[in-house]
Structure 1
Amino acid sequence: MWPLIFIVIFIILMSTYTIMKKTNTKQIELDDLNTLYQCTSCGKLHRKYQEELQSLIDLTYSTPSICPRCHQPADLYIGEYFDWMKTNPECPKLRKQDLRKFKKTVKKARQLEKELQNLDAFLHYYHPVNKNKNSSDRDGKLL
């Protein structure tokens, strides 16, 4: 009887630990994505998740801590936090339910990027770049 009680208690403790670990992991990820930056040039605020989305949309935007608006360096915001910063339309703070939407958006953007690469490879396969530009076909026209 005692071994059964210990097994049940062990299972309850392990499941509680697993649930708490997942919750803490999501909260850490959410806090990381909500990191606030301030542009040194234009002074606008933005969050890390906006940088990640911008890097997926704009292929020239690859450096972290760059303002998504003016593409100038941005520093970590260390000033005083106000309530309006959580709901600022330019950089709203992600909530837990928004995290799922963000992940879906990132996944779709990566899928589209992969499809674009596949399409480029396909087009390159069927329309190879003509290395000999001076060659002509039977009619005498340049290719």
Structure 2
Amino acid sequence: MNLVMDEHGGASPATGRTLSVGDTHTLEVPLRWGDSDALDHLNNTLYFRLMEEARMQILYGAGLKLPDDHGAILAHASCDFLRPLTYPASVRVTHRVGRIGRSSLAFELTLDKVGDESGSYARGRNVLVWMDYINNRSEPWPADVLCRLGAAFMSGG
């Protein structure tokens, strides 16, 4: 793999940069009729499933082998339900990098209804931690993983 180094020592195979605070990833996911509850709203658990699907698309899109000896775990997930989503619709799930720590990445998420620009339907927060699964402990994010994630995200700057 041919990497191009940036001024911070980071690199990305496709873009020549590493993941940075403010970078975004967007995925559109269609709702299914069966996702609704008795009140014709998207069931609350499905908001987390939408976030999960987008997160897995990010990880697989970055070429991470799952499972492996090392990898990311979801250490935190939260959601503020702002307005009910209803079928039929497609939901745009946006991850924005909020913080990059030694072993953790914090994402701010928004769930928006495609075609409705009146505001988000939900806001969330996810924290991923890079783990050594064999020894059951966190480790620093490998530079090559941050590079591959950088290629999966759009630059925020």
Q: What band does the TM-score fall into relative to the shorter chain?
A: under 0.3
Instruction: Give 1 or 2: higher helix fraction.
Output: 1
State the structure with bigger RCO (CA 8 A, min sep 6), 1 or 2: 2
When Rg is computed on C-alpha atoms for both structures, the one with the higher figure is: 1
Q: State the TM-score, normalizing by the size of structure 1.
A: 0.24
Q: State the TM-score, normalizing by the size of structure 2.
A: 0.23
